[in-house]
Structure 1
Amino acid sequence: MKPFKPFELPIEEQINPMEFYNELINASTNVGKYQIMLKKSKVNEYFLITPFSLQEAVQSSKIEGTQVTFDEVLEFDIDKNEKNNDAQEVLNYYDALNYGESALEKYPISTRLFKKLHEILMSNGVRGQNRAPGEYRSIQNFIGPEGCTLETATFVPPQPQLVDSYMSNLENYINNPNDNLQSLVRIAIIHAQFETIHPFLDGNGRIGRILIPLYLYDVNLINSPNLFISEVLEKDKHKYYRLLNGTRKEGNGWNEWIKFFLQSVNKQVLKNIELIEEIDNLYERDLENAMNLINSTNVVDLIKAMFQKPIFNVKTISSLTGIHDSTCRRYLSTLEDEKVIFSDNKMRNRKYYYYNLLDLLR
């Protein structure tokens, strides 16, 4: 196969909005509802987004072959003494997402941001650490089944000497779009174009998926980078790959891809709306239970910290709440006695598990 030569953006002439009109209406409406639900949640929005972001990091990394569970990542985050490269990859993704949010306060989505996100993603000794972290590729890469060669690849991205030019075009489209498309449609195009350019030697899929919530936050469609669709994409990953590849061929590929992308957004936000309702009910129930067990004004902070980090140790809760270690230990012992939480019963660095929330998030 020869290296692919993408169309430069915008590509409005290849888009027929009527082919995904209903999907756009549904996704837009429910994204709006999701933002309202987050704002009105009885649990602070920031506390909710932490586990949502971690779950996104797990699912996005899973698409790329990382084998680690949500629970394992939370456990590793507490005690990094035991090496777990898969869990570290997930935490790198989470850190990159958080960095992206803060970076947007200072500068736009750009090559500078892409390279820094990639540097974070490839840090801490993970797979790909030796594949030019934070730099666009200078050699030809290709995509295909494990063990494939350039000749048998499914897709060969543009030549390395053209990457800067194509990324400059993408960057210009992100910040100065010259079309009449909606933001959800634009991010579908942006994500597909980023994956087609494949500017890095490794980690392109994950950076491209981090770009989705960052872009929608940057254009003020969402209140924070809180719209993650990797869970849906992972479940439909063969369709995801096939339709992405369809944008690189003549025909109706772009419209089919955008329709699928909008359907994926809608599926995820509908699930999240239902999840927030369940979390709110759980919060009310367990807060009332805890207040009956512990006579302290610190109870609210304690419970909210458990919603932010549903697997934790005393140090985690103390750090999040400012409650002294010995007091935390006493509170947690009370909650464990009443089976609100459970522990691994270790004498040192005991971990606690808030299964009521974990069961909803998994």
Structure 2
Amino acid sequence: MKKPYIPFRLPLEDIININEFINELLEANKLIAIYEVLLSKSKLDPNLLLAPITLKEAIQSTRIEGTQITLDDMLEYGVDETNSTVDIREVLNYSRALSEGENLIKRLPISSRVIKELHRILLEGDVRGNSRNPGEFRAIQNFIGPPGCTIQTASFIPPEPQLVPEYMSNLEKYINEPTDNLNDIVRIAIIHAQFETIHPFLDGNGRIGRILVPLYLYDKGVISSPNFFVSESLEKDKFKYYKLLNDIRVEYSDDTKELAIQRWNEWIKFFINATIIQSKKNIKLIEDIDNLYNNTVNKSRELINSNKLIDIIKIMFKKPIFIKKSILECVDIPSSTLGVYLNRLEEAHIIYSDGRVRNKKYYFYDLINILRQQ
């Protein structure tokens, strides 16, 4: 029978060879810096601009775990919250955990305490895994493998449960008091892999591990808010993602040192490339949304002369599927006046509606299509 794995302790002395991925690392840091500049210069409030990016992250991270939710499903749910499903609740929990993580690390270090609270939120309510000790490290042995596998046929058996607090303490110290000289992007690649290897919870480890990526980069000042995500890139190559993570789990000895060096550096290079891919997507997304915003404002001003117009358009960018109530809750404008404005926007093919008399839904397809393509 396979034995539970004994992880490396951090830092990874003499394992990481930065020359293996130095060009990729330089490119990743450059692109993240460009992304941050574009965010700061956008005419849209960064919170509005990041809302769809954050939603897509929650969707992609839960899809890696097997949910079938789509962007359109979540946008529709944002208008009508009566048709909740397990998949939708899991996406909402992920978004809440990410938001709470940002609040917590403004006053606390990234620690087991914070990680446990994020896990509690992630598995709160009627979702899969809600009976598997939310917010608590596992007290029993778990294992990883394809559906239906047993511990004998598992592809990976994490460390024994009594060792989890010790390994998490080592990880926490590395997060907050690193003694190596590695770049923060390299460090978060190591942190993510180590967290997934420890697998401290009975369920939700993958999602918590991916939430740690933007939280760590935000905590270290690499990004201005926890808004840089890699789940979409990882989801597209998820079997490679799983394989490379599993490959780093070698028994460390003098005989296997070269193999460990090769596999760890291959994993880090893959992770950095995922950040490059995502950076390029985010940069294009911001540019496309900025251009759409400018065009929408210019076209709408030809139709509507109102100091409320910009506020209405901003709501459309935050909620590209909406009803009148969505705007009335945020903009001080008579309902009848808003109805006239929305009719004009619809006649000009800026927005489209489902044609209903009551609770009419409006669709800002130009933005929806940009989000779908990313």
TM-score (norm 2): 0.94
Deviations 1:16-47 (A, max 9, x none): 11001111011011110110011111222111
Partner residue of 2:309? 299
Partner residue of 1:148? 149
Q: Which amino acid aligns with 2:362?
A: Y
Aligned length: 362
Deviations 1:168-207 (A, max 9, x none): 1111110111100000000000000010011111111111
SS in 2 for 1:163: helix
SS in 1 for 2:139: coil
Partner residue of 1:78? 79
Q: Relative to 1, partners in 2 of residues 1:302 and 1:140: Cα closer, same or farther, differing over 3 Å?
A: same
Partner residue of 2:238? 237
Q: Relative to 1, partners in 2 of residues 1:321 and 1:134: Cα closer, same or farther, differing over 3 Å?
A: farther
Q: Which amino acid aligns with 1:24?
A: L
Deviations 1:255-294 (A, max 9, x none): 0000000011001101111121111111110111112212
Deviations 1:212-249 (A, max 9, x none): 00100000000111111111101111111111111112
Aligned counterparts of 2:124 and 2:291: Cα–Cα separation in 1: 39
Note if 1:63 corresponds to 2:73.
Answer: no
Q: Which amino acid aligns with 1:122?
A: L
Deviates more, 1:172-181 or 1:73-82: 73-82
SS in 2 for 1:13: coil
Partner residue of 2:119? 118
Deviations 1:88-147 (A, max 9, x none): 111111111111111111211111111111111112311111111111111111111011
Note if 1:351 corresponds to 2:352.
Answer: no
Shift of 1:322: 4.5
Q: Relative to 1, partners in 2 of residues 1:321 and 1:201: Cα closer, same or farther, differing over 3 Å?
A: farther
Aligned counterparts of 1:82 and 1:11: Cα–Cα separation in 2: 48
Aligned counterparts of 1:159 and 1:76: Cα–Cα separation in 2: 41
Aligned counterparts of 2:46 and 2:352: Cα–Cα separation in 1: 25
Note if 1:211 corresponds to 2:221.
Answer: no
Deviates more, 1:261-270 or 1:304-313: 304-313
Partner residue of 1:279? 289
Task: State whether residues 71 and 311 of structure 1, in contact with CA within 8 Å, keep that contact through their aligned partners in structure 2.
Answer: no
Partner residue of 1:316? 326
Aligned counterparts of 1:324 and 1:207: Cα–Cα separation in 2: 44
Structure 1: runs of 5+ lacking an equivalent: none
Task: State whether residues 43 and 280 of structure 1, in contact with CA within 8 Å, keep that contact through their aligned partners in structure 2.
Answer: yes
Larger Rg belongs to: 2
Aligned counterparts of 1:333 and 1:24: Cα–Cα separation in 2: 50
Note if 1:19 corresponds to 2:29.
Answer: no
Identity, in percent, stands at 56
Aligned counterparts of 2:10 and 2:278: Cα–Cα separation in 1: 27
SS in 1 for 2:302: helix
Q: Which amino acid aligns with 1:361?
A: L
Task: State whether residues 76 and 84 of structure 1, in contact with CA within 8 Å, keep that contact through their aligned partners in structure 2.
Answer: no
Deviates more, 1:261-270 or 1:285-294: 285-294
Q: Relative to 1, partners in 2 of residues 1:34 and 1:137: Cα closer, same or farther, differing over 3 Å?
A: same
After superposing on structure 2, the runs of 4+ consecutive aligned residues of structure 1 that deviate more than 6 Å are none
